[in-house]
């Protein structure tokens, strides 16, 4: 993996320096998993690519293994925290609705316990939040 560290990117800093107070739930060569600092569900994690990739629209077919691994790690983190595996959501913000320009997968459980506004904001396959399956299907068409 090429070094793509961006000095002012909070996720690059977490992946590279692991700032104090950031617990890495998973630390691998290609990604890390952390707790979201503003959780909206009992379990709210982020799986962050170590490579600085702006967003899901920046992905290419070559990134399919990374995407699959992000999903696998997300599900493992949920299992490790005894989350309800029948009530969870995984998804990416779809540009231009991205707050941070660094690829990260949101992981929520239980989805049914989220406030209505958050269920709307993080609605799967809306025009602002998409599932990993949606992203994978876009990559298949490239």
pLDDT of residue 5: 61
pLDDT of residue 1: 43
Provide the residue ranges of all domains of the chain, joining segments of one domain with +. 3-141
The tens digit of pLDDT for each residue in 17-49 reads 767 678 899 999 999 999 999 999 999 999 999
What whole-number distance in Å separates Cα of residue 92 and Cα of residue 103?
8
The tens digit of pLDDT for each residue in 42-94 reads 999 999 999 999 999 999 999 999 999 999 999 999 999 999 999 999 999 99
Whether the CB-CB separation of 45 and 107 falls below 8 Å is answered with yes
For the domain made up of 3-141, give the CATH fold.
HIT family, subunit A (3.30.428)
Which carries the bigger pLDDT value, residue 97 or residue 29?
A: 29
pTM of the full predicted structure?
0.91
Which carries the bigger pLDDT value, residue 99 or residue 13?
A: 13
What whole-number distance in Å separates Cα of residue 119 and Cα of residue 128?
12
pLDDT of residue 65: 97
Lowest mean pLDDT among 13-17, 75-79, 91-95, 101-105: 13-17
Which carries the bigger pLDDT value, residue 103 or residue 7?
A: 103
The residues annotated as belonging to the active site are 104
Query: What are the residue ranges of helices labelled H in the chain?
Result: 10-17, 64-80, 116-121, 132-140
What are the helix and strand counts (H, E) for the chain? 4, 6
What whole-number distance in Å separates Cα of residue 118 and Cα of residue 39?
10
């Amino acid at each position: 993996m090429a070094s793509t560290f961006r000095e002012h990117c909070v996720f690059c800093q977490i992946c590279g320096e692991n700032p104090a107070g950031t617990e890495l739930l998973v630390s691998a060569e290609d990604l890390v998993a952390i707790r979201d600092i503003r959780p909206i569900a009992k379990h709210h994690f982020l799986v962050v690519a170590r490579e600085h990739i702006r967003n899901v629209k920046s992905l290419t077919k070559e990134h399919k293994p990374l995407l699959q691994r992000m999903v696998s790690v997300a599900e493992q983190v949920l299992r490790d925290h005894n989350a309800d595996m029948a009530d969870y959501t995984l998804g990416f913000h779809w540009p231009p609705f991205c707050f941070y320009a660094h690829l990260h997968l949101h992981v929520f459980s239980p989805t049914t316990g989220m406030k209505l506004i958050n269920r709307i904001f993080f609605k799967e396959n809306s025009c602002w939040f998409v599932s990993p399956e949606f992203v994978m299907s876009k990559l298949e068409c490239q």
